[in-house]
Structure formats: structure tokens, C-alpha cells
Structure 1
Amino acid sequence: MFRRLFLPEQNMMLAAIINSIIIALLYFPSLETNTFLHLLDYFFIVFFLLEAAIKIKELGWEVYWKSGWNRFDFLVVLFSLPSLLVNYLPIPDTSIFLLLRLIRLVRLVRLIRFFFFHPHMGKILDGWVERFDLLFLCF
């Protein structure tokens, strides 16, 4: 089950897009203290951590680490982990955590590679449209 969720590239791209929207919403002054959005943001940090763990388990460390994109994702997740602690530790200056959150937006660079080089892009976009419909029904 986890393999089917975390290994397909289109699932991870959809997760990155949704997470980027949440990050963008957190920069609106009226939403920056929204607990639900922060919890969703934390969920995605753990989600991407699980993605890395499952890929490492499935591919093995050497094969996983050979891919520049996997290294990039791993480092982004690694640098995101301290953000999980910001609300639980007395940290005087949290501006570094804002920077770490913005670094996660760089994941969207993968979309360029994904859109231009994927042979079944039409089918993937159709699937995304269906998933966004379901997402809006949830809200």
C-alpha cells in the first residue's frame, strides 16, 4: 500500500503542489497563525520523510543516493525537520524556520522536469484534475 502511494512520481508532485499552496497561505497575515494550516504543513514534512524512507528501503541507499533528485529531496526533508520543533522549544528567533519553509518550495523545480519529460503527461493531468475535484469536495 505504501509503495503505491509514495513511489509514483505524480503522487509526490501532487503532494508538493498542495504543500506549496499551504506554505503560500501561511504567509498571509490573516492565516499565519492558523493552527490547521500549520498542522497540514507538519503532516507534509512527515509525509515527505516517509517518502524518502520508503524509497531508500525499496531502492537501497546506493541506488537512491545516485539520483540527484533523490539527494535534493532528502536534503530538503532533512532541513525541514527542525520546523517540527519550533512550537515546542523556546527559540528566540524563528526567522531561520521561515527560510527553511521557503526552501521546500524549491521542490517545485522538479515539476519542470516532470512536465517536459514524462511520456504520459495528458493522462497525468487528467488524473490531477479529478483529484483536485475530490480535494475541493472535502472542503
Structure 2
Amino acid sequence: MDTALRPAVPPLPPLVRQPDGRTDPAQEFVTRMRAAAPDFAAAGGAVTAVVREVVPPARHRRSRCRVVLRLLGGEEVDLTFLGPVSRAASSERAFDLQIQTYLTHGRGSAGDWLVPDDEAPDGVAVDVSAWSATAVRASA
């Protein structure tokens, strides 16, 4: 594989502890999402995956994760995922699992879960919360 085509990805920074010994939840979220890149590659049937962007959720903003999958023939698939607006630990921890499930089963090119997003490379993002709700209704 031509290493010149690989994106330069810095190593994961160590978690910074707050004065009381706790770690910053937003930093934990970002670290967990970046560390999930090999799982995203496996779920998407890719050789490798790079997490190019991660934004943790907050009261006023949705979580987002941009994943670039490199397939066997060298083709790249660049996907942006949106999660819920929340600071609940359960929704933050489910985001990476929802992305993996979508990559394994979803990957459709049409549906209510594909939403306009000016920050996504192709102008469309996958709302994994909406996709998950649709997948649950379809399997019931």
C-alpha cells in the first residue's frame, strides 16, 4: 500500500485528569471515538478507517463523527454521522456502537436518516438515532 496516500493521524493524546482526579467527559468521548476506528473498518468491510473529526455532544449541539473508510481497492468512503443532542453518558457511549451497526447493516443511499449537513464532505450526514429508530421499527 502506498503510504503517501495515508492520512497523517496524530497519536491519541493521553487523558488529562482534572484536579479532583476525574477525566474530562468530552475528551473521553473523543478518545473513545478515535480508538474505535479499527472497529469501524471491520464493520464497514474496509481495510482501514480513520476518524477525521469528532465533536462531543452538548446541551446545544449534536455529537458528530466523520469516518473515512479505505476499501480493498483503495477507494475511500467518507461518511459523517450525527448523534443525539445530549450529555447523558448512555447516549454518548451508544454513538460508536450505532455507527458500527450502521456500517454493518445500513449503508443505504436513501432514507429519512440521511440529513443535509453543510459540514459533511458530500453535504449529507447519517443521523444514526433516526436510522436506529427506523431499523428497530422495521425489525418489529
**TM-score of the superposed pair, with normalisation by structure 1:** 0.24
**TM-score of the superposed pair, with normalisation by structure 2:** 0.24
Query: Which structure ranks higher in relative contact order (CA pairs < 8 Å, sequence separation ≥ 6)?
Result: 1
* Structure with greater helix share of residues: 1
